[in-house]
Amino acid sequence: MKFSRREYLKTIAVMGTLAAVKIYTADIKRALALAASGEVRVLWIQGAGCTGCTISLLQTNDPDLVEAITNFRLAIDFHPTIMIPAGEEALTELEGTVQGKKPLDVLIVEGAVPEGNFCMVGERNGEPVPFEKWVRELGEKAKYVVAVGTCATFGGIPSGQPNPTKCRGVQEVLPGKTVINIPGCPPHPDWMLLTLTPVLLGHANWIELDEDNRPKMFFHDYIHDLCQRRQFFENMRIAETFGEDECLWMLGCRGPITKSDCSLRLWNKGTSFCILSNGPCIGCTEKGFPDPPFSPFYQPVGFEELERKKLKGKVEVKPKVEQYRRSELLDTLIKLGVAVGAIGVIGYGASRALRKKEEKEEG
């Protein structure tokens, strides 16, 4: 299959990113192989974070670890977690890029960027080098910059109030650069692979970004709109304790104010996601997480404050969140279902009338 912008975006629009992973597996491998061959040079640096984004990427299953990640590991000239070189030998890759000796196609940043000496990576002339300095110097050299994980995109947990280390996202450190943000704590491996593939192939312009520089193909709909438990909310069946298979709003679900395709994509090879596992969405893909309105965790937010007894009394609740809306996709699916149902009824009626006519003629 020819890998073109038109076909790529068409596949995403018509079949969704779930199908795109399957369809473009070969192209994903090709992109990673290009990097492995040295045709595309990639550096992956990490600041204030837990390495969860790297672990998530290593858990990808299509392409699987043997087919793709081995090549991807070889592709990256610097990665603090999975590279073989260490110490000064490893830092030569960074220094060579800063000095202009080596080109840099893609800079991938994991983890938030603390201010000054709160995070140091290696030494230069006997002095520790702040991670912030590496981000600025390498970011200026890179053709494309990709921030993976909520820490790198928006500051995430390290930037939580009162944020004594002044952690922030990569975009704040590189205000003159377009940074592609792939949030999530951690991001789904599909989000990373389907974003990095066009970037590694030199087609970053294929990726349509939202107002927060997130790929729209993953962060278009609110989780609440496409949640498998949406029907419970519509009927005001609200869970009061964990373990109840009902809407988790009163237990702190941030689905109504969080954009992500988690409810469609699912995690761990399509097994489940937070809400299906009876855990409320905490809004980890959104700017501002984990501060209010995403915390305090396990407390409701986003709707009129009603007492539990009123909720259990099935009192109608009108959402107050301005962003709340019924998903266009959901509406389309509903209309499609009605149309298909109508066609089925008409077809059934026609076939039955024809059968009766045949029976009458035979009689």
- Cβ atoms of 53 and 186 within 8 Å: the answer is yes
Identify whether the C-beta of residue 146 lies closer than 8 Å to the C-beta of residue 179: yes
- Strand-pairing partners, residue 78, are 43
Question: For residues 112 and 123, what is the distance between their CA atoms, to the nearest angstrom?
Answer: 20
Q: Catalytic residue positions?
A: 50, 53, 151, 185, 224, 227, 247, 253, 262, 274, 281, 284
Find out whether 63 and 29 touch, Cβ atoms under 8 Å: yes
The side-by-side arrangement of strands in the sheet containing 106-110 is 76-78, 42-46, 106-110, 144-148, 179-182
Q: What is the pTM of this model?
A: 0.75
Strand ranges in 52-98 using DSSP code E only, listed in sequence order: 76-78
Q: Are 35 and 41 in contact (CB under 8 A)?
A: yes
Residue 293, preceding bond cis, omega within 30 degrees?
Answer: yes
Q: What is the pLDDT along the chain (363 residues), one digit of tens a residue?
A: 445 555 555 555 444 445 555 555 666 666 556 555 557 788 999 999 999 999 998 887 665 544 554 454 435 788 888 888 888 888 999 999 999 998 999 999 999 999 999 999 999 999 999 999 999 999 999 999 999 999 999 999 999 999 999 999 999 999 989 999 999 999 999 899 888 888 887 888 889 999 999 999 899 999 999 999 999 988 889 998 999 989 998 899 999 899 999 998 899 888 899 999 999 999 999 999 999 999 999 988 755 544 444 445 554 444 443 333 334 444 443 444 444 344 344 444 445 555 555 555 555
